[in-house]
Structure 1
């Protein structure tokens, strides 16, 4: 089946549910946004009320990379972090732009362009220039460079879902994990060939009218099994689960849906293990944090308490027809509170 051309229909309402063939355009400005007392909101309110972000991870036993572009309209920000598990070297870079200056995220999850610039720092995520490829390019003022080509061949099965958010909003998200990638990372005098180190990519593309105050826990994995198959997952709790969930795992190109997931962790002990278990029994994992990219902001209108841990997963995945044991596989978890 062809992809849904537009998420918002002629009546100004979003289509809810799972979209196996994707959605071409998230035309959020066509949404009939109303107050909780049913009063129509202005076009300006729609423009400033919608949030968008894109996050990409590159994971291997030799290098962990996280890159994000976030457009909150009143403010935009971007971050890049890199971690070398062998040397335990960690660098992070964070940038902000008032009124989302020099920030652009096109509303097309599969074929759009995202870009952030500030000073001598540029981040571009381009899914339009080359069919079947999402290209991540980072050029930072300190000399750090990333040029990654992520395979998005037609055989992939992204997890695309739209769910209600609060009384008047909705969120669309498109997730993939364990995607083959090639290219290079240059950082602190070292050059990493992404194909040679076996790096795999995960992509998170999200947009919508989110709850004014929200939180989520999230987990992501991209690794290879001993038999060579690629294994990835996207798991979340606290958001995007009003009737549907964004929980799924991938074995090579196959997407397997996962039920609700419970995240058990101690917020006061950031390096203590996490437990992740799904209601359907497919997920029974422990996550051991190694490090964290974190940021706290508490402004008049906006607030964020963000912690994204990188570390290693171990445990059991009980899938239809087989049970998988994983040990010390690199991945991410996140604990995030936001007011926007």
Structure 2
């Protein structure tokens, strides 16, 4: 589909097998809760965008995000080394989203964030998504994610609150190449068999929202690539963003319940239980480390915890049962006001 907003100013809701080329949000008939029309300035101010990319393998977990909330923008990058437990994170904020840009074309646009000597750029086109990170502290990433062969992203648009919409496009377990230079080491992504996952989201989202999320990208014993994207709490007004990918083939999953102790003490289990209504997903997630951030600027706020750890359990498909036995992945517990 070429454009998400139709000629009447309405968002088209549902799943889009061929994706959406342009999120033409300025054509949206945005109104407040009382039905009064909102002008161009309000549209630009209230339109939120973010991209998150991860690289996952047994040797390394990397997370990269650019978030544009117009009032402010944020960028973070973290690197975790599972065998040693080494972890390093970098986070930057620009008021009024200065030096921040995210295009409105999920598969052919560009996103960038700059602050001082720190820069993160994500660009997509011709079946490739390129990621470049250059930080003053010395971390450098030059990676290419291959979206040219058997690429089947999950593209969904759902209602958000009384007047808005939330569009998201996700794909997991994508082939990637390139290098990561970190702490005097140069890691070749192909050599360590890393896989990438991509989250591209935008819309007039709920003013106050939350979500739980789970992501996995691994290579099975038989060589197939397995990716998971599971979520609850944000895109659930008629549609969900739950899916798995097996060698690029998309399999839709019903609603997923996340059970975990948000405020666990030393006597509580920190394990997460993930179950889907259709019986496909029956997984346990054991956190090993986390990236956490609490920001309260009154107008906007975020209480964000992203865990990295191991998945165990079964994925029951029509013709087979896939057993996970400690594959690395991510979960997230996130409150946002924007």
- Scaled by the length of structure 2, the TM-score of the pair is 0.98
Which residue of structure 2 aligns with residue 50 of structure 1? 47
Alignment of 1:85-164 (within 5 A): 85-128=82-125, 131-164=126-159
Q: In 2, Cα distance between the equivalents of 1:41 and 1:333?
A: 36
Alignment of 1:25-64 (within 5 A): 25-64=22-61
Which residue of structure 1 aligns with residue 250 of structure 2? 255
* Root mean square deviation, CA, Å: 0.9
Question: Could you tell me how far 1:154 is from its partner in structure 2?
Answer: 4.7
Which residue of structure 2 aligns with residue 319 of structure 1? 317
Question: Could you tell me how far 1:87 is from its partner in structure 2?
Answer: 1.2
Which residue of structure 1 aligns with residue 4 of structure 2? 7
Say which SS state the counterpart of residue 313 (structure 1) adopts.
Answer: strand
1:82 is aligned to 2:79: yes
Q: In 2, Cα distance between the equivalents of 1:283 and 1:199?
A: 23
Q: In 1, Cα distance between the equivalents of 2:332 and 2:264?
A: 14
Deviations 1:67-89 (A, max 9, x none): 00000001000000000011111
Alignment of 1:181-330 (within 5 A): 181-269=176-264, 272-330=270-328
Q: In 1, Cα distance between the equivalents of 2:337 and 2:82?
A: 33
Q: In 1, Cα distance between the equivalents of 2:26 and 2:228?
A: 31
Q: Which runs of 5+ in 2 are unaligned?
A: none
Deviations 1:12-62 (A, max 9, x none): 111100000000000111110001111001111110001000000000000
Question: Could you tell me how far 1:63 is from its partner in structure 2?
Answer: 0.4
Q: In 1, Cα distance between the equivalents of 2:298 and 2:274?
A: 34
Aligned length: 335
Q: Which runs of 5+ in 1 are unaligned?
A: none
Say which SS state the counterpart of residue 127 (structure 1) adopts.
Answer: strand
Q: In 2, Cα distance between the equivalents of 1:177 and 1:244?
A: 19
- Scaled by the length of structure 1, the TM-score of the pair is 0.97
Question: Could you tell me how far 1:241 is from its partner in structure 2?
Answer: 1.1
1:174 is aligned to 2:169: yes
Choose the corresponding residue for 2:16, options 4, 15, 19.
Answer: 19
Q: In 2, Cα distance between the equivalents of 1:265 and 1:155?
A: 35
Q: In 2, Cα distance between the equivalents of 1:209 and 1:219?
A: 23
Q: In 2, Cα distance between the equivalents of 1:28 and 1:102?
A: 21
Say which SS state the counterpart of residue 237 (structure 2) adopts.
Answer: coil
Q: In 2, Cα distance between the equivalents of 1:316 and 1:49?
A: 41
Say which SS state the counterpart of residue 101 (structure 2) adopts.
Answer: strand
Deviations 1:236-269 (A, max 9, x none): 0001110000000000010000000000000112
